[in-house]
Structure 1
């Protein structure tokens, strides 16, 4: 198995389209087929930082709260049980700490209120980390970020020249209007012509038809599209990842109540150990056969 581990550090919009779940489930069996390829696995932990494990009573049961509509981070499995990268990482963290945990599904917009009302102990869902969130809750360091990426033709990256910023000069780039990706492109891709679309699927169709030269959007959505049936093998990533936090956010982490900081620190410790021991990479390859990085 070949993979490249890279130190990168992001957050994207919540994905709410029905086809995405089908695509995520379709991709799950393909992990074995991609292991002979280069898969970019991000690393969000400083190897020089040695976290100490705080004491959390082994008798305590930790209740994780998740949403089930954001594959591949959290979604229902074939048997209806919650699964996904965030969910399985939460379970792995519990096992690493020797704790008993449950996973409970809530509607996305109710997760933080449910946590505040002590209906659960940790939110393991794709809620962006912000300064305001850290003021209200205890939040671990990010365990995942969603980079902005460019996608273009041809489908085979080996046929693509080494990417440079000059390649964007005079090119037409499809973006989703009103997004941070459009704002970033207007600020830093000034030699290009931007073509806004109301939704990403319209931009993807434009790239397939040749109406634009590139799409610039969140890498998670694009990775699922590039590897799915809708793309039909047309396209591939070029350049990036783009990780400017002022545009794309700080990432996502596990969220606990402010008074439960010992649990937050225990989860930070567990996440770092899971990275060092290879469990993070194992789960990443399982849920991201085409890496957004």
Structure 2
């Protein structure tokens, strides 16, 4: 069973040009709504403004990490999953490819260490890490209280924001809460997204659906005014063929960790600070140099941020 609180949605692929029949698997939060007593109190937003940048950058330039002692680190054996495109999957020849794989290679270039990448079933990754079959797992693992019990993590290198999407004719870059009053908002029933809507947008009219696909189709067909959900999944849908070019993001992203998670990090064995600090240093440097952004744009032409 996955340790990530996510599910997968696959689309017929005509966007990424990946050499696979069933193309893109995207991250979609399906955390169940918290009981009312457990819901954190958040002030209602004044407006849902655009993100300051379309690229992820969760590193503080004022907190520049020092290069760690690399004398004992001559190689990093990365492990990743076999079938989670576009983040990690096998090409026609069986070689590991994808966003996480390319990021691992960039990290090794930055650190100037030998790098190997092995693919495993997801349910074997944590045991393999604890058995010292590799030093790091880069497989889109969510950082949360449960995963921290069995692994340590780098700083998050991406997060999954929540976003509104609407027909292009009404999708505005700035979306004020009053614009949502009385509007039908398609959302997966029982999800963290539904809980967030009910807590912060009390004048809106959430319409629960069983699946994320159904929420998007509701907007495309005009059954709902907006859909609210996983920004990464929505970015793939907007840029794919299933949307038929109908829709666009409305307003900006939401990152409240109480609802939408703390982000995705690279996992290392508990207590392995040598590798963890080296990876944190490399991630910061790749972001600082713009190489992380270049990689992101290759895989996410419509940014979820």
- TM category, shorter: 0.7 to 0.9
Q: Which residue of 1 aligns with 2:122?
A: 108
- So what's the TM-score if we normalise by structure 2? 0.82
Equivalent in 159, 168, 179 of residue 180 of structure 2: 168
Shift of 1:233: 0.4
More strand by share: 2
**Map of 2:11 onto structure 1:** 19
Which residue of structure 2 aligns with residue 289 of structure 1? 301
Match of 2:148 among 114, 134, 141: 134
Q: 1:44 to 1:162 in 2, by over 3 A?
A: closer
Deviations 1:84-143 (Å, cap 9, x if unpaired)?
222211110111001111111112222112211222210101111013433432211000
Partner residue, 1:215: 227
* Alignment match of 1:206 (pick from 218, 222, 247): 218
Which residue of structure 1 lines up, in the alignment, with residue 76 of structure 2? 62
Spell out, residue by residue over 1:8-65, the C-alpha distance to the aligned partner (whole angstroms, 9 max, x if none).
Answer: xxxx853433426x3563489xxxxxxxxx9710211011012111123477321111
Counterpart for residue 279 of structure 2:
267
SS at match of 2:16: helix
RMSD: 2.3
**How has the CA–CA distance of structure 1 residues 253 and 161 changed in structure 2, closer, same or farther, with 3 Å as cutoff?**
closer
* Paired residues, number: 270
2:110 corresponding residue in structure 1: 96
Q: CA 1:292–1:87 in structure 2 vs 1: closer, same or farther (change >3 Å)? A: same
Distance, in Å, in 2 between the alignment partners of 1:41 and 1:67 is: 24
1:148·1:216 contact (CA, 8 Å) conserved in 2? yes
Structure 1 109/41 Cα, relative in aligned 2: closer, same or farther at 3 Å?
A: same
Using the alignment, how far apart are the partners of 1:24 and 1:125 within structure 2? 22
Distance in 2 between residues matched to 1:107 and 1:23, nearest whole Å: 26
Task: Please state which structure has a larger fraction of its residues in helix.
Answer: 1
- Structure 2 residues not aligned, in runs of 5+: 20-51
Picking from 104, 120, 124, the partner of 2:134 is 120
Match of 2:60 among 29, 33, 46: 46
Matching residue of 1:33:
none
Provide the residue aligned with 2:45 in structure 1.
none
Q: 1:27 to 1:240 in 2, by over 3 A?
A: farther
Alpha-carbon offset, residue 216 of structure 1: 0.4
2:246 pairs with 1:195: no
Which of 274, 290, 295 in structure 2 is aligned with 1:278? 290
Query: Which of 122, 143, 160 is equivalent to 2:157?
Result: 143
Deviates more, 1:134-143 or 1:166-175: 134-143
Q: Runs of 4+ in structure 1 displaced over 4 angstroms?
A: none
**Relative to structure 2, which stretch is displaced further, 136-145 or 75-84?**
75-84
- Given the two structures, how large is their TM-score scaled by the length of structure 1? 0.85
